[in-house]
């Protein structure tokens, strides 16, 4: 065992280790992106989780420590929009104390990042990923359906870099006929900045985003467009389970990536679990049911008992939805992305 390897590991039925944990700290968001939280579903009458239903910081930190003992090396805070959770830097500090050897990252829409980047970095956040689907302001405002401007997202990215949370990763969900015509400009803008743009194929997460295969722009097609304009070439992955396929600019001006859940699934190397804001653990982004951890947490379960629950949940895992995606899976119920953080 090398120094970089965890002291304990758990494998699923396909031999995949548990290495990454995504923690949703809230199911609320101030955007209404149609591929995630369309307004007609998540409107004024939608019932979000009550405060008492959401895990406390202490509960989250306790679980994080147990996950670290099982081999988790990366924790990512998600939502909803995680920066809507009050006192988020306090949670970051607690997570650092509970799992000191674990890399701590966050995915955000950056709407509040300009003011929060420095406090989060000071509390121990290591990296940040920002969702930005287009640099075209009209396109972006339409996609977030909250009339939120590109300029304020860019301010958040700059603040993150200034706070030492660089390189910032920029995630862009690409939909044909919606924003695919702006992808090259997005890549061009961040080329040479040190930040990394990652283009995500539009996925059939949940059941409310109106997913159509015709709206998926295959990564290979997008790569061809960017290569023609800017010149790029593929790069070997950094580690097993890396989500984005790495590419670099031929002139050495940086990297970009493509997340290909639809056209080139990566289920075989998936090492991620997802903890919902109300304490359910899900072993797949496209899962139907989770394992409840909140009830045993609040009923006095010991760390050893929680450890056993997690080992069992991961040990029986055989999820590979994207490998199996077909007409037969089209109508299956799936948890919404806003609930487990993507």
Tens of each residue's pLDDT in the chain, 342 residues: 333 444 458 999 999 999 999 999 999 999 999 888 889 888 999 999 999 999 999 999 999 999 999 999 999 999 999 999 999 999 999 999 999 999 999 999 999 999 999 999 999 999 999 999 999 999 999 999 999 999 999 999 999 999 999 899 999 999 999 999 999 999 999 999 999 999 998 876 545 555 577 788 999 999 999 999 999 999 988 766 577 889 999 999 999 999 987 776 657 788 999 999 999 999 887 677 889 999 999 999 999 999 999 999 999 888 665 555 444 445 555 466 666 766
Q: What is the pLDDT of residue 225?
A: 97
Q: Does residue 13 lie in a domain region?
A: no
Q: 269: number of CA atoms within 13 Å, CB side?
A: 13
Rounded CA separation 219/202 (Å): 10
Q: What is the pLDDT of residue 296?
A: 98
Buried residues in 288-310 as b, exposed as e (16+ CB within 10 A): eebbebbeebeeeeeeeebbebb
Question: Count of CB atoms within 10 A of residue 95's CB?
Answer: 25
Residue 200 to residues 12, 97, 229, 277, Cα–Cα distance (Å):
26, 33, 19, 24
- Check residue 13 and give left, alpha or beta (phi > 0: left; psi -120 to 50: alpha): alpha
Q: Does residue 6 lie in a domain region?
A: no
Sign of CA pseudo-dihedral 270, 282, 44, 25: negative
Q: Does residue 95 lie in a domain region?
A: yes
HEC profile of 112-169: CHHHHHHHHHHHCCCEEEEECCCCCHHHHHHHHCCCCCHHHHHHHHHHHHHCCCCCCE
The domain total for the chain is 1
Q: What is the pLDDT of residue 241?
A: 58
Q: What is the pLDDT of residue 298?
A: 98
Q: What is the pLDDT of residue 276?
A: 94
Taking a C-beta distance cutoff of 8 angstroms, is the pair 181, 221 a contact? no
Rounded CA separation 284/28 (Å): 21
Q: Does residue 7 lie in a domain region?
A: no
Q: Does residue 11 lie in a domain region?
A: no
Q: What is the pLDDT of residue 326?
A: 45
pTM beyond 0.85: the answer is yes
Q: Does residue 10 lie in a domain region?
A: no
Q: Does residue 162 lie in a domain region?
A: yes
- The CATH number of residue 192's host domain is 3.20.20.70
Q: Does residue 149 lie in a domain region?
A: yes
Q: 148: number of CA atoms within 13 Å, CB side?
A: 22
Rounded CA separation 278/39 (Å): 22
Cis status of the peptide bond prior to 167, with omega within 30 of 0:
yes
Q: Which domain holds residue 210?
A: 20-340
Q: What is the pLDDT of residue 184?
A: 98
């Amino acid at each position: 065992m090398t120094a970089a390897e965890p002291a304990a590991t758990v494998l699923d039925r396909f031999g995949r280790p548990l290495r990454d944990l995504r923690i949703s700290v809230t199911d609320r968001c101030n955007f209404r992106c149609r591929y995630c939280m369309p307004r007609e579903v998540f409107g004024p009458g939608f019932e979000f989780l009550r405060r008492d239903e959401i895990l406390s910081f202490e509960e989250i930190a306790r679980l994080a420590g147990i996950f670290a003992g099982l081999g988790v090396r990366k924790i990512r805070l998600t939502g909803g929009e995680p920066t809507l959770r009050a006192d988020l830097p306090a949670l970051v500090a607690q997570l650092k104390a509970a799992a000191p050897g674990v890399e701590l990252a966050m995915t955000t829409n950056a709407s509040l990042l300009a003011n929060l980047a420095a406090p989060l970095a000071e509390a121990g956040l290591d990296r940040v990923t920002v969702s930005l689907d287009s640099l075209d302001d009209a396109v972006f405002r339409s996609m977030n359906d909250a009339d939120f401007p590109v300029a304020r997202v860019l301010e958040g990215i700059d603040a993150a870099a200034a706070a030492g949370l660089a390189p910032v990763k920029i995630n862009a969900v690409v939909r044909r006929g919606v924003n695919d015509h702006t992808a090259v400009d997005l890549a061009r803008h961040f080329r040479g900045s040190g930040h990394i743009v990652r283009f995500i194929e539009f996925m059939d997460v949940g059941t409310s985003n109106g997913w159509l295969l015709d709206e998926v722009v295959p990564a290979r097609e997008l790569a061809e467009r960017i290569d023609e304009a800017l010149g790029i070439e593929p790069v070997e992955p950094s580690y097993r389970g890396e989500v984005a396929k790495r590419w670099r600019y031929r002139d050495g001006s940086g990297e970009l990536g493509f997340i290909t859940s639809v056209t080139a699934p990566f289920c075989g190397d998936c090492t991620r679990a997802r903890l919902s804001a109300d304490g359910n653990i899900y072993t797949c982004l496209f899962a139907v049911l989770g394992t409840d951890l909140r009830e045993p947490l609040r009923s006095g379960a010991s760390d050893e008992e929680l450890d056993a629950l997690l080992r069992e949940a991961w040990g029986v895992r055989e999820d590979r939805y994207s490998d199996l995606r077909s007409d037969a899976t089209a109508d299956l119920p799936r948890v919404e992305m806003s609930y487990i953080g993507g």
